[in-house]
């Protein structure tokens, strides 16, 4: 019988044999297919892993010092030097709205990643968990930058030290690197909506008490957040920083220019547009273009832009991969930086965070003139 003829089954046995042949052929095909798909899957996972490693490791090598694990340190500042001589790291982990049960893990991830700056506040209600995570990390205290903020109803001079002591106890530390007056609004003690008009109109007594606490060694630097009416007074310790909202929607170029000219460092809060507008910020065409061209993420493009603008940046995340991602900053080429700066400053500014209504104020805390 010529070999190219397929034998016609002549008996039950032949039929069975043929069926077995078909079965074994289809089993072979299935096995080959399985190995093919498995190989593709393994290669894809390897590609993703390699890409994520490449993205998370600085292109120009790691610096040995903590708080400096950024790319391109030759051009982007890893820290700024304050009038006290202290070095404040450029990128911090913000912990507002980082809930109990998740903030500690976020702080641990951040410290493992190389962050050495945590931006917290008494009002965030999570200082104890932040403190525990810091203690558990084993990072020496003198390598950390801890910021906290004085809440609105502790502005009366006699209430400040007890509030600070509570923060220090919760954070399990002897001193803060930076203590800010959280808002330019003072409430009466124990209330969260009864305005203390006198201390709101004139924050000088509050500032003087903070100066005293610097001299006592409980705070290394003091600063403000959104306060405008302080500089008329003779200050023993000038504000070391001003923490303000800076993001794509509200980039405040005039304030940035004024602050640079007057040697007052700005800290960018809600740098990604806060929870409310982060999605929108990450979808801005110029941000996406930078991300694509530099093979970085949109969040990294925005955070890099802030550092390149010369501000401290405080992105918040409780998602481990994002905490890691947000620590990697790169120098944006001039043309891309300018393009994003132009896009951010060409639309009408829109403030993302404004609690005036929630506090029941009958004026806007960001208005130029308060009807006090």
List interacting residues with ligand NAP (CB under 6 A). 94-97, 119, 182, 225, 243, 269-275, 278, 282, 299, 314-319, 322, 325-326, 353
249 versus 370: smaller Cβ distance to ligand NAP: 249
Identify whether 115 is a catalytic site residue.
Answer: no
Q: How far is the CB of 121 from ligand NAP (least distance, A)?
A: 7
Q: How far is the CB of 229 from ligand NAP (least distance, A)?
A: 17
* CA distance readout (Å), 29 to 16, 23, 36: 20, 10, 10
Nearer to ligand NAP, 200 or 326 (CB): 326
Provide the Cα torsion 45, 51, 54, 55; round to 10°. -120
Q: CB 37 → ligand NAP: shortest distance, Å?
A: 31
Nearer CB in complex with ligand NAP: 42/54: 54
- 109 or 173: whose CB is closer to ligand NAP? 109
Of 18 and 108, which CB lies nearer to ligand NAP in the complex structure?
A: 108
State in angstroms the smallest separation of the CB of 133 from ligand NAP. Answer: 15
Choose between 78 and 300: whose C-beta lies nearer to ligand NAP. 300
**Active-site residue, selected from the candidate residues 115, 124, 179, 269:** 124
Provide the minimum distance between the beta carbon of 23 and ligand NAP in the complex, in angstroms, as a whole number. 51
Residue of minimal Cβ distance to ligand NAP: 94
Among 184, 191, 189, which Cα is nearest to 207's?
Answer: 184
Q: Nearest approach, Cβ of 21 to ligand NAP (angstroms)?
A: 56
Active site residues: 124
């Amino acid at each position: 019988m010529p070999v190219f003829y397929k034998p016609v089954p002549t008996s039950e046995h032949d039929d069975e044999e043929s069926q077995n042949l078909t079965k074994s052929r289809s089993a072979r095909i299935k096995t080959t297919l399985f190995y093919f798909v498995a190989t593709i899957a393994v290669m894809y996972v390897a590609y993703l892993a390699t890409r994520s490693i490449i993205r998370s490791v600085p292109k120009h090598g790691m610096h040995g010092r903590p708080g400096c694990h950024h790319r391109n340190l030759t051009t982007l500042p890893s820290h700024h030097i304050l009038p006290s001589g202290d070095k404040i790291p450029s990128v911090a982990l913000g912990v507002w709205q980082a809930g109990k049960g998740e903030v500690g893990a976020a702080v641990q991830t951040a410290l493992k990643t190389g962050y050495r700056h945590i931006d917290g506040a008494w009002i965030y209600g999570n200082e104890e968990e932040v403190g525990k995570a810091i203690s558990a990390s084993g990072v020496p205290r003198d390598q950390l930058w801890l910021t906290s903020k004085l809440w609105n109803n502790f502005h009366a001079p006699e209430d400040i030290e007890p509030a600070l002591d509570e923060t220090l106890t919760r954070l399990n530390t002897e001193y803060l690197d930076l203590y800010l007056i959280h808002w330019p609004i003072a409430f009466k003690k124990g209330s969260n909506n009864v305005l203390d008009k006198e201390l709101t109109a004139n924050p000088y007594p509050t500032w003087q008490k903070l100066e005293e606490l610097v001299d006592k060694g409980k705070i290394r630097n003091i600063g403000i957040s959104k306060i405008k009416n302080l500089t008329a007074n003779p200050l023993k310790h000038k504000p070391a920083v001003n923490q303000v909202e800076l993001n794509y929607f509200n980039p405040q170029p005039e304030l940035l220019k004024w602050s640079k000219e007057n040697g007052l460092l700005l800290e960018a809060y809600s740098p990604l547009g806060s929870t409310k507008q982060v999605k929108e910020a990450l979808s801005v065409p110029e941000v996406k273009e930078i991300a694509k061209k530099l093979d970085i993420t949109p969040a990294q493009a925005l955070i890099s832009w802030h550092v390149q603008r010369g501000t401290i940046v405080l992105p918040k995340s409780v998602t481990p991969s994002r905490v890691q991602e947000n620590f990697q900053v790169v120098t944006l080429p001039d043309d891309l930086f300018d393009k994003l700066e132009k896009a951010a400053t060409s639309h009408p500014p829109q403030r993302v965070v404004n609690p005036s209504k929630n506090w029941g104020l009958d004026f806007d805390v960001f208005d130029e003139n308060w009807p006090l």
